[in-house]
């Protein structure tokens, strides 16, 4: 059995290298991240999630997200207004990044939404790389962070500033939206059943069981 390594210090996969500026990609506005969180979760499917490492850019396109609705959402880290050093970035203004470490080995990345003080966020669950990369390379929140070299040191950075992690708008592509309950939050009671997971029905890079792969 291969030894499993923690992903706190992973480096981006070279197959995800690309040049954001050569594609003429545009970033989202601050105002965009103040929209309703579920709307943002749907709208960023197709967007490019990018990370700079050693002066090189790496990126992939989001195909699956989940919305976490703050103090009233039993599945959210900010449930009942919980405010600890780890969760603090969730309380920042929309457009910041919240990264946390779970299960002793994986990092998960979120895009924070809403005005400062309202702790809602969108978990980035899966993305698709170029044809030359394995389909499942970024299929799952932990794998997505590992493949792009995202870790807890990136938590709290502003995606709109001149930062090492950014999100760029997609320019129209065919996408069939799927919706389901969220994955891995069965402890959250009634909140576990809410339809807050969004994904591209046409993508093989989506994570999770096939039985949840249902159209909207």
What is the spatial distance between Cα 103 and Cα 82, in angstroms, rounded to a whole number? 20
What is the spatial distance between Cα 30 and Cα 7, in angstroms, rounded to a whole number? 30
What is the spatial distance between Cα 134 and Cα 125, in angstroms, rounded to a whole number? 16
Binding residue (CB under 7 A) for DNA from 20, 164, 179, 184 = 184
Q: How far is CA 33 from CA 36, 112, 168, in A?
A: 8, 8, 13
Across the strands, what pairs with 55? none
Is residue 96 at the binding interface for DNA, with CB under 7 A as the rule?
no
Angle value at C-alpha 33, between 75 and 57, nearest 5 degrees: 95
Is residue 66 at the binding interface for DNA, with CB under 7 A as the rule?
yes
Nearer to DNA, 25 or 149 (CB): 149
What is the spatial distance between Cα 147 and Cα 144, in angstroms, rounded to a whole number? 5
**Smallest distance from DNA to CB 75, Å:** 6
Near DNA in 19-48, by CB under 7 A: none
Q: Of the ranges 17-25, 53-61, 101-109, 164-172, which one interacts with DNA (CB under 7 A)?
A: 101-109
Is residue 104 at the binding interface for DNA, with CB under 7 A as the rule?
yes
Is residue 112 at the binding interface for DNA, with CB under 7 A as the rule?
no
Binding residue (CB under 7 A) for DNA from 32, 101, 198, 199 = 101
Is residue 59 at the binding interface for DNA, with CB under 7 A as the rule?
no
Q: Is the dihedral of CA 195, 38, 157, 22 positive or negative?
A: positive
Sites of contact with DNA (CB under 7 A): 1-4, 6, 66, 68, 75-78, 82, 84-87, 90, 98, 101-106, 108, 110, 121, 123, 139-144, 182-185, 187, 207, 209-211
């Amino acid at each position: 059995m291969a030894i499993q390594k923690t992903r706190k210090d992973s480096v981006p996969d070279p197959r995800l290298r690309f040049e954001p500026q050569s594609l003429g990609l545009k970033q989202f506005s601050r105002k965009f991240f103040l929209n309703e969180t579920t709307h943002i979760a749907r709208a960023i499917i197709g967007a490019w999630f990018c990370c700079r490492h050693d002066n090189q850019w790496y990126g992939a396109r989001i195909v699956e997200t989940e919305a976490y609705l703050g103090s009233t959402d039993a599945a959210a880290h900010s449930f009942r207004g919980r405010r600890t050093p780890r969760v603090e970035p969730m309380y920042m203004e929309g457009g910041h990044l919240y990264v946390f470490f779970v299960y002793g080995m994986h990092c998960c990345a979120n895009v924070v939404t809403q005005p400062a003080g309202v702790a809602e966020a969108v978990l980035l669950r899966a993305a698709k790389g170029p044809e030359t990369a394995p389909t499942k390379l970024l299929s799952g929140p932990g794998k997505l962070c590992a493949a792009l070299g995202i870790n807890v040191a990136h938590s709290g950075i502003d995606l709109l500033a001149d930062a090492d992690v950014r999100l760029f708008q997609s320019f129209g592509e065919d996408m069939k939206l799927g919706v389901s309950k969220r994955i891995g939050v069965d402890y959250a009671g009634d909140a576990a059943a809410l339809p807050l997971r969004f994904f591209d029905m046409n993508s093989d890079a989506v994570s999770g069981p096939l039985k949840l792969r249902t159209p909207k």
